[in-house]
Structure formats: structure tokens, C-alpha cells
Amino acid sequence: MAKRKPNYDPLPTELEQVVDEARADMGQGPMPRTARQGIADMQARIRYHQRLIARLRKNNPTCTDSIAESQRQIREAKARLAEYQVQLDGAN
């Protein structure tokens, strides 16, 4: 019998990303957030996907689709991070 993985609560970064993706699927923009919160969210998202890529490469390097998706998420998060930084700089 296969060993069951323990249940876990999703990380705040995972929840934030799911909400943004669901909004995008409905033709809406990202969840409204302050520039400071947007910067923190995108930095966390980038770290999350960098770690995920490292785990995938170590444990299952043939998961090229998953790695490519995380790389896409990082590119998107970096672009949004730059937008939030401009907003923050403009507010100061």
C-alpha cells in the first residue's frame, strides 16, 4: 500500500497566487493591494518558484513542463514587482 502524504495548509504565497490566477481566468486584474504589499507578495512568489524549481530539478528533472511554468511565474512576478516599485516610488 502506498504511503499517504500528510495534509498541509497552503502557504500564503500559494493562496495569493491562486486568487490572482482565478481573477485572471475571469478577465479581472490581480487582487488589489498596496504597492508595499504587492512588492512583498511578488518577492515571496519569486522565492517560492525558485525553491520549487530547485526541488523539481533535484527530485524529478524530467518535469520540464512544471519547471517551465515556474519560470513563467517568475518572469510575471518580476514584471509585476517592477510595476509595484514604480507605484511605491511615485507615492514617495
Alpha carbon dihedral 85, 67, 25, 40, in 10-degree steps, equals -30
Place of cell 512544471: 66
pLDDT at position 1 is: 43
Q: Tens digit of pLDDT for each residue in 68-88?
A: 999 999 999 999 999 999 999
24 lies in some domain: no
- Mean pLDDT calculated for residue range 1-6: 56
Instruction: Tell me the residue range of the domain where 46 lies.
Output: 33-91
Determine, yes or no, domain membership for 5: no
Predicted confidence band of residue 3 (pLDDT cuts 50, 70, 90): low
Does residue 25 sit within a domain? no
Only one residue has cell 509585476, namely: 80
- Distance separating alpha carbons of residues 67 and 56, to the nearest angstrom: 7
Each residue's pLDDT tens digit, 7-44 = 788 889 999 999 999 999 999 999 999 999 999 999 99
pLDDT for 91 beyond 80: no
| 65 three-class SS | helix
Number of domains in the chain: 1
Rounded Cα gap, residues 18 and 23, in angstroms: 9
